[in-house]
Amino acid sequence: MDAGVSYSRDVDDEYEKLVRRTRPPRVEIDNESCKNATVIRVDSANKQGILLEVVQVLTDLNLIITKAYISSDGGWFMDVFHVTDQEGNKVLNQEVLDYIQKMLGPDSCFYYTMRRSVGVKPSMDHTVIELTGSDRPGLLSEVSAVLTNLQCNVVNAEVWTHNSRAAAVMIVTDEETGSAITDPETLSRIKKRLSHVLKGSNKSREAKTVVSYADTHTDRRLHQMMFDDRDYERSDNGDSNETQRPDVSVVNWYDKDYSVVTIRCKDRPKLLFDTVCTLTDMQYVVFHATVSSEGSEAYQEYYIRHVDGSPVKSEAERERIVHCLEAAIERRVSEGLKLELCTKDRIGLLSDVTRIFRENSLTVTRAEVTTTDGKAVNTFYVRDASGHPVNPKTIDSIRQALGQTILRVKGCPEEQKPESESSASFLFRSLVNFGLVRSYS
């Protein structure tokens, strides 16, 4: 069976190479025809997942997609994207434009081949720990304390919470060697202790800990983990605010055998990536789509079929699509205060910071932890564990414990405007520093 699968995959690879030689992808970047945005046109032979690949490249550069027109009926894929940087300006940085050409143009074969395994490459520089379980106040603090106790240094991490569930992708190194953790006994202890922490007192839902040496696309992996964990299943406790939920509808267009998915919600960065990622992982193919944002509102319309060629077949399937897309949109929306921590990295830093949050009755709803050149730049979205607004005195207490010069309070995330340091050129340099450009080259 394995030999047959391997043979089939080899044939597919050879056929894909032939198609790419005869019909190589084309990328046109136009800064003249549109007054307010850079227009990127992508033409390529069509295949499953190609839309996500293109959107992922643009999103990883922190570009804002203000409009998109997608058509992939038949054997050819044609997309038009209107993009800006985080300040709403055209993309003029030549390094960024060259990177887009490299990743999406005729020389992108290595990237496309790698996408068969969801952007995964083995690495012995670090160990990747994936965690899913029930969310509760202080969970990140407990996880960080366990890792510190086991001599693991958290180099990078991203944590999402949604619908009482939590997922995290944490990149760690051995405290002594500074590289991946390879000792089988140590890895076994890590899995056992973290699984115990994640399980907590909740005996009704599964907790999972996975340890690997794979470089993966963190955002996409978090979507997959939360989807597998069924965070889209809503409880009937009445806690959810129906007025703030995205407006998602699915109807069948029987004349053309399409199902039409319509999304209306508050606009935000990476929204298109999140919805396309979810449709792709649910095994739906986008044949046509229109995406636009006007002011603070976003509108997306997708014409889809299942990979087997059929439109949505039942009411249960329709409801599942709606719930999964709602979850994908909500996962990245963070409640509470945005706290930015910038300081010299050290072993146990994340454990100490999250412990201080816990001691001040704050719970972390989302976190982004990065380390480069010995400097830790961490972002936390926090709220009061009792559900009340965060008291300014609490922030003062945390500042005193952490140091007045390294903690910045950004207020409610929804009210924040993008900062100049989030421009496409800065993101390109960050991708180089963190090794992400090399990972996809």
Per-domain residue ranges of the chain = 11-116, 127-224+335-410, 247-331
Class of domain 11-116: alpha beta
CB count in 10 Å sphere of residue 18: 11
User: What CA–CA distance (Å, rounded) separates 14 from 18?
Assistant: 6
Residues 6+ apart with CB under 8 A from 71: 77, 78, 79, 287, 288
In this model, does residue 114 exceed pLDDT 80?
Answer: no
Q: Which residues 6+ apart lie within 8 Å of 162 measured at CB?
A: 226, 231, 327, 330, 331
pTM score of the predicted model: 0.84
pLDDT at 298 over 50: yes
The superfamily in CATH containing domain 127-224+335-410 is ACT domain (3.30.70.260)
pLDDT in tens, 256-278: 899 999 999 999 999 999 999 99
- Mean pLDDT of the region 71-95: 91
pLDDT in tens, 146-160: 999 999 999 999 999
Per-residue pLDDT averaged across 300-329, rounded? 96
Which of 116-120, 220-224, 428-432 has maximum average pLDDT? 220-224
For the cut 70, the answer to whether the pLDDT of residue 221 exceeds it is yes
> What is the residue type of 185?
E
**Rg (the chain; Cα; Å):** 22
Q: Please count the residues of the chain.
A: 441
The mean pLDDT value for 67-84 works out to 90
Q: Whole-angstrom Cα distance, residue 275 to residue 281?
A: 10
**Same CATH fold assignment for domains 11-116 and 127-224+335-410:** yes
d(CA 144, CA 355): 9
Annotation: CATH topology of 247-331: Alpha-Beta Plaits (3.30.70)
DSSP state letters, 299-336: EEEEEEEETTS----SHHHHHHHHHHHHHHHHHT---S
Mean pLDDT of 335-343: 89
Give the tokens for residue 264: 């209306």
Q: pLDDT band at residue 233, thresholds of 50, 70 and 90?
A: very high
151: left (phi over 0), alpha (psi -120 to 50) or beta: left
Neighbours of 408 (CB within 10 A): 12
Q: With 50 as the cut, is the pLDDT of residue 413 above it?
A: no
Q: pLDDT tens digits for 195-206?
A: 999 987 666 667
Which are the contacts of 436, defined by CB distance < 8 A and separation ≥ 6? Answer: 60, 430
Residue type, 102: K
Cβ atoms of residues 431 and 60 within 8 Å: yes
